[in-house]
Structure 1
Amino acid sequence: MVIVTDSNFLDAAGTLRKGLLYCDFVAIDFEFLGLDVSAISLHDTVESRYQILRDNVIKYRPCQLGLTLFKQKSNRAYKADTYSVPLFQRFGDNDTSISLPSMRFLVKNKFNLNQVFMDGVEFCTRKEFKKFERALLAGTAASYLSREVKSQIELLKVMVHEKCYQSTSYHITHRTDEPMQKIPLKMKPNSSVSLRMPRNLSSVEKYMIIYELTKAFPQFLFTCDEKQQNLHVKNISDDYLKEKDNLERARARCSESVKGVSAILQVVHMTGKLVVGHNSLLDAMYMYHYFFSHLPANYQMFKDKFNALFPRIMDTKLLAQALRFELPGVGDSLENLGDYFGSDKSDKTVPPELRGFIEPWMNPLEDESENVYHNAGFDSYVTGEVFLKLAHIYINRRNNFKNEILDFDRIYQYLEAPILNRLPFQLMDVGCCYLTGDDSKGFRPDVITIVRRDRVAIEEDEFRYLEKALGTLMATYQFDIEWSKNKKELFLATNSPGSYAFLCEKFSNDSSLAPLDELDSGKKWTFEQRQTAWRSFKNRGVGIGINAKRIRAQNQATKIQRAMEI
């Protein structure tokens, strides 16, 4: 894994761009400064869930980006380069929040928060970058800098005068911009002077200082040494540069440092590479909001705009769910999948060329200390590795192929129809977020409608008691309860047939409350009948609106009645 920080980002950017041009696909993962799931409910519609996730993205910034570039070689085996990039935006909107539970979780998993805040790589949206570019051209970009850094720039201008020209006391004591315009400073050919740079500067601050000095002294070339502690000054004529080219080069370097890692994701967009993630809807939203443009106000617009930027994205969680019978007990979490495919247990399920660790491609294996889950770099590698292995199992078994390695183009062709541009929703009655079409239907049990047997309104005290009692009763089983606007109905949402049947049976035996479908039909069903006929009505557009409750109850009763007759 290569750790890319603010200190070495501009040096590593060239290798990253080259890798993106030649790789077959890129796996991406983010870590965030927080994630608030308290507002998420099983009752959410796609629009309400999008708004909850959007609020999270805006509230908590990303703190780490993981990129792994995968390349299939001539022998069909794969190579991969992994990059771990701490993220820290110094010059954008400073309004952000930090979740202490999330921070404790990251630190527990050996996450280096100090690296984020001290050496995180800059990033920005397109709008933020254009604003900076305008300021740069207008000569007002120094407004992005602190007062302390501005003072250091003025001090360095004076030091350039002292080092490069024997000025009179008049020139030393007056404003430095006056002698810059009137007195041509020159140095002896092939000679240089060194100035001490301020400590603890970000790359943006460093290149802004160089740019401001170049504007003041375009006849000089300013460069920093490897340790970035000394500023070297020499004549541009020694490098056969013109003043205009010298200033343009300093300006371009300044712009590149401000754009930061956003420029790398721009390359992903421009090359149209396949992007692979795991449970990646939130990652997609983070990538859009912080590196391209602010998230749209509604869900459909997000789908359209994100797909325009990244027309090819696949998610390993959906592949794992499709293979749940072929890989029993493995599950669909990244850790479980990574552990399974990293062990000998998986050797018989994947081609020999994919067994074990995928070797580095263009970069040596620099640092294994961060090869832990919840490091975005390592997670991106595991995501890509899991994707390749799941894809081969899926394609080979669905088509009765031998356990053989496939060309990447064939993998893409086989997965295009069932997997491409589909991102999983968690705890929702929707199959997935389909970026290029209508979202697929989910497989969750119907919402249970509970009413009083005498059909009168449910009092608030009774609702609060039920809410607390059911929370204790259901323990770790997922469920959510809502109260209708007319106070006469309770809506219970579950995520499994067993919990659905359990709640139906509980209220079927209750003396004061009952499932609406039983009261309407005059029939009562057993736990087993409920468990095998739990899906009766599904309409994505209706959701759980008031007008649909009666239809749902009637359809549910009809479905269960048919099951009894069989």
Structure 2
Amino acid sequence: MEITSDNFEERLPVIEKAITEADFLSFDCEFTGLGKGNTSVGPYDTPELIYGKFRQNVGKFVLMQFGLCAFKFIKEENRYEYSCFTCYVYPRVPKKFESMRVTGSMASGSACSFQPDSFEMLSSHGFDFNKWICKGVGYLRQQDIDRYKDELTRIHKIREEANESPQMVKVPDGMKVLVTKILKTVDEFMTEDENTKDFLEVPDLAAYERRIVAQSLESKYGWKVYVETLPVGRQQNCPLRAYKCAEKEVNSAHRQRHLDNEVKDIENAKGFCRILEMITKSGKPIIGHNMLMDLLHTCKAFCFDLPVHYADFLSSLKTHLPTVVDTKSFCALPQLRAVSGTNPSLGDLWKKVNSSPFPEVDYRPTEKAFEVSGSFHDAGYDAYITGVVFLKLAVYLGRTSTPYKTSSEIFWSLFETTVNKLAIPRVQDISGLDLSVKGCQAPERSHVFHVSLDETVHWTNKDVLNLFSPFGDVHINWSNDSNLFVSLERRKEAAKVREKLCGPNDHVWKVRPVEEFTKELEKAMKEAEVDSKAGGNKRARPDTTAEQAKKTKAKVSGD
């Protein structure tokens, strides 16, 4: 079922029912870009650094489509029903609030990036960009709503104080005729009998004109007139309405009514964030595939600002989405690895679970409207595929376990070791990103070293092996032509490497413990965060090799 701004309110109860009755939920997202490049995950990145790199990527782009599929087990018939939704989402707030640049809100005018190749890929799969822009469901997180409400209250107070002591307004020469004409019309309105209507509408004016006219009226009449804008859809030009106030309290009542309406409107702008609130309230497990980026985008758009520190993110995530399962991490279970393959894509898994040895599973749409149509890279279709893949993997695991597990037992007893574990490729000694509190801890890596080379030299594995030959066998991972990682087979030789190779030297190479290198990267990333908030002034880096390593692409892995 496709969800846009045209049918969101109407379909909201249907979505809520599907979430509430589900045994588990699956989801997928489409974004304006993926990033990567200088934020690719390195072979010995820490959980903190992995999170920081993904967070940096996610901060540049916005979510375009959110796919949600709710699966419900019908015990009496031993089958599943699903309800699938493809939701277009767009970062917007009501037109009348667009001029309020509220810090931290993506929907308040912040710039975002897009990657041409991502748009080309989505276009080739039939993505409707016009529908996304024109009919995407808006969203505003509760923390942003609170910021808007604070700003509305601040503006209300300023206007009340200004109304107490109105000041002369300088009218631009080009507007004097217009303002004089409007003031004359209002003069006539203010002197009419009390039995006439208590307000007068001034025809469409541009924003700048409305401000000058309103200030001129308030300057002349003080509390005896109350002026407000009447928004018309998303039009730039809107009429003004001037209310006649017999008493000062009447003006105050109008102002309070206006503030109350504004607060109500901004609360109603929560939009798609209401869906995430339903998911949080339900407490249902939510399934994704290779889902770290999807998860971060979802949290950023609909739940909370992504914190700088990984531990703070884990704390916030636990409040909103406490139970997540990554099918890619699920496939790493010993019982599944042989039949699912290593590092499988969603498309690969879909093909495999629809053939032997995976069992047939009876799953049907709840009703015709929920029947899935589309193709890969439609978020709703991918959410459906993800849910079915998980279902078939779980049922296969249950039927091949000893003792045999039934469907009602599968979801907790079989994959508890993979709950809140996200697949992270390319990292040598971390099988997945742990979303529990202990997941902040990096593995012990005293035997791993980072090597940077002078850009004038061109080393091969042989040169590296010669350098480290006194310390036994090593494993080599290149980042680029000038940066690599070396892991010692004989870990107790690490102290000798630190003594013989690390520290200042005049060689074309520099060796240092990997902990030192990753801490420098983490520090540089946090400094970049501060620079960005301060206006983009770049700080000097303590060592350019850290920056070089950030700009790497995986080259080779040798031993």
Q: TM-score, normalised by structure 1?
A: 0.61
Report the secondary structure of 2:34's partner residue: coil
Cα distance in 1 for partners of 2:43, 2:35 equals 15
Match of 1:13 in 2: 12
Report the secondary structure of 1:80's partner residue: strand
Match of 2:514 in 1: 544
Cα distance in 2 for partners of 1:396, 1:180 equals 85
Report the secondary structure of 2:70's partner residue: strand
Equivalence map 1:247-286=2 (5 Å): 254-255=265-266, 257-286=268-297
Match of 2:348 in 1: 336
Q: Deviations along 1:491-533, whole A, 9 cap, x unmatched?
A: xxxxxxxxxxxxxxx41xx5xx535542235x899xxxxxxx9
- The yes-or-no answer on 1:109 pairing with 2:125 is yes
Cα distance in 2 for partners of 1:177, 1:280 equals 62
Match of 2:162 in 1: none
Match of 1:132 in 2: 148
Equivalence map 1:116-515=2 (5 Å): 116-134=132-150, 173-174=185-186, 254-255=265-266, 257-322=268-333, 323-327=335-339, 329=341, 332-341=344-353, 343=354, 345-346=355-356, 348-350=357-359, 352=360, 354-355=361-362, 358-361=363-366, 364-365=369-370, 368=373, 371-401=374-404, 406-407=407-408, 410-415=409-414, 417-428=416-427, 429-439=429-439, 459-462=454-457, 465-466=458-459, 506-507=461-462, 510=463, 513-515=464-466
Cα distance in 1 for partners of 2:7, 2:277 equals 19
Cα distance in 2 for partners of 1:329, 1:116 equals 36
* Distance change >3 Å, CA 139–CA 300, structure 1 → 2: closer
Q: Which residue identity is paired with 1:274? A: P
Match of 1:518 in 2: 469
- Which ranges of structure 2 fall in alignment gaps of 5 or more residues? 94-106, 160-180, 199-230, 244-253, 476-486, 495-511, 519-559
Q: Which residue identity is paired with 2:46? A: T
Q: Which residue identity is paired with 1:430? A: I
Q: Give how far 1:434 is off.
A: 1.5
Cα distance in 1 for partners of 2:188, 2:148 equals 25
Q: Is the Cα–Cα contact under 8 Å of residues 311 and 437 in structure 2 kept in the other structure?
A: no
Q: CA RMSD in A?
A: 4.7
Q: Give how far 1:420 is off.
A: 1.3
Q: Give how far 1:380 is off.
A: 0.8
* Distance change >3 Å, CA 13–CA 116, structure 1 → 2: same
Report the secondary structure of 1:545's partner residue: helix
Q: Deviations along 1:316-374, whole A, 9 cap, x unmatched?
A: 11112224444155862111112333x3x24x522x4x15xx32125624672xx2111
Q: Give how far 1:436 is off.
A: 1.7
* Distance change >3 Å, CA 249–CA 340, structure 1 → 2: farther
Equivalence map 1:550-561=2 (5 Å): none
Q: Which residue identity is paired with 2:379? A: A
Q: Which residue identity is paired with 1:311? A: P
Q: Give how far 1:50 is off.
A: 1.4
Q: Give how far 1:135 is off.
A: 5.6
Q: Is the Cα–Cα contact under 8 Å of residues 272 and 311 in structure 1 kept in the other structure?
A: yes
Q: Give how far 1:448 is off.
A: 7.4
Q: TM-score, normalised by structure 2?
A: 0.61
* Distance change >3 Å, CA 547–CA 307, structure 1 → 2: closer
Match of 2:35 in 1: 36
Paired residue total: 406
Cα distance in 1 for partners of 2:453, 2:46 equals 25
Cα distance in 1 for partners of 2:182, 2:516 equals 83
Q: Which residue identity is paired with 1:424? A: A
Q: Deviations along 1:21-65, whole A, 9 cap, x unmatched?
A: 221221111111111211213242222221111111111111111
Equivalence map 1:524-539=2 (5 Å): none
Q: Which residue identity is paired with 1:104? A: E
Q: Is the Cα–Cα contact under 8 Å of residues 8 and 137 in structure 2 kept in the other structure?
A: yes
Q: Which residue identity is paired with 1:461? A: T
Q: Is the Cα–Cα contact under 8 Å of residues 433 and 439 in structure 1 kept in the other structure?
A: yes
Q: Give how far 1:450 is off.
A: 9.1
Q: Deviations along 1:179-216, whole A, 9 cap, x unmatched?
A: 99966869xxxxxxxxxxxxxxxxxx77899xx99x99
Cα distance in 1 for partners of 2:51, 2:288 equals 18
Q: Is the Cα–Cα contact under 8 Å of residues 311 and 440 in structure 2 kept in the other structure?
A: no
Mean alpha-carbon deviation: is it higher for 330-339 or for 66-75? 330-339
Q: Deviations along 1:64-120, whole A, 9 cap, x unmatched?
A: 111111111132311111111112112324221111121112112222222111111
Match of 2:25 in 1: 26
Q: Give how far 1:138 is off.
A: 7.7
Q: Is the Cα–Cα contact under 8 Å of residues 47 and 441 in structure 2 kept in the other structure?
A: no
Q: Is the Cα–Cα contact under 8 Å of residues 275 and 313 in structure 1 kept in the other structure?
A: yes
Report the secondary structure of 2:12's partner residue: helix
Q: Which residue identity is paired with 1:439? A: G
Cα distance in 1 for partners of 2:13, 2:260 equals 16
- Which ranges of structure 1 fall in alignment gaps of 5 or more residues? 144-168, 187-204, 218-242, 452-456, 471-505, 526-532, 549-566
Cα distance in 1 for partners of 2:337, 2:188 equals 75
Cα distance in 1 for partners of 2:144, 2:311 equals 24
Cα distance in 2 for partners of 1:414, 1:177 equals 76
Report the secondary structure of 1:82's partner residue: strand
Q: Which residue identity is paired with 2:351? A: D
* Distance change >3 Å, CA 129–CA 546, structure 1 → 2: closer
Question: RCO higher in 1 or 2 (8 Å CA, sep ≥ 6)?
Answer: 2
* Distance change >3 Å, CA 89–CA 459, structure 1 → 2: closer
Mean alpha-carbon deviation: is it higher for 332-341 or for 359-368? 359-368
* Distance change >3 Å, CA 137–CA 33, structure 1 → 2: same
* Distance change >3 Å, CA 172–CA 399, structure 1 → 2: farther
Report the secondary structure of 1:59's partner residue: coil
Q: Give how far 1:412 is off.
A: 2.5
Q: Give how far 1:126 is off.
A: 2.0
Q: Which residue identity is paired with 1:111? A: F
Q: Is the Cα–Cα contact under 8 Å of residues 447 and 488 in structure 2 kept in the other structure?
A: no
- The yes-or-no answer on 1:81 pairing with 2:90 is no
Q: Give how far 1:131 is off.
A: 2.6
Report the secondary structure of 1:29's partner residue: strand
Cα distance in 2 for partners of 1:325, 1:254 equals 51
Match of 1:71 in 2: 72
Cα distance in 2 for partners of 1:289, 1:99 equals 19
Cα distance in 1 for partners of 2:21, 2:37 equals 42
Q: Give how far 1:132 is off.
A: 3.2
Match of 1:60 in 2: 61
Q: Which residue identity is paired with 1:349? A: F
Cα distance in 1 for partners of 2:196, 2:127 equals 52
Q: Deviations along 1:474-499, whole A, 9 cap, x unmatched?
A: xxxxxxxxxxxxxxxxxxxxxxxxxx
Q: Give how far 1:534 is off.
A: 8.7
* Distance change >3 Å, CA 35–CA 536, structure 1 → 2: farther
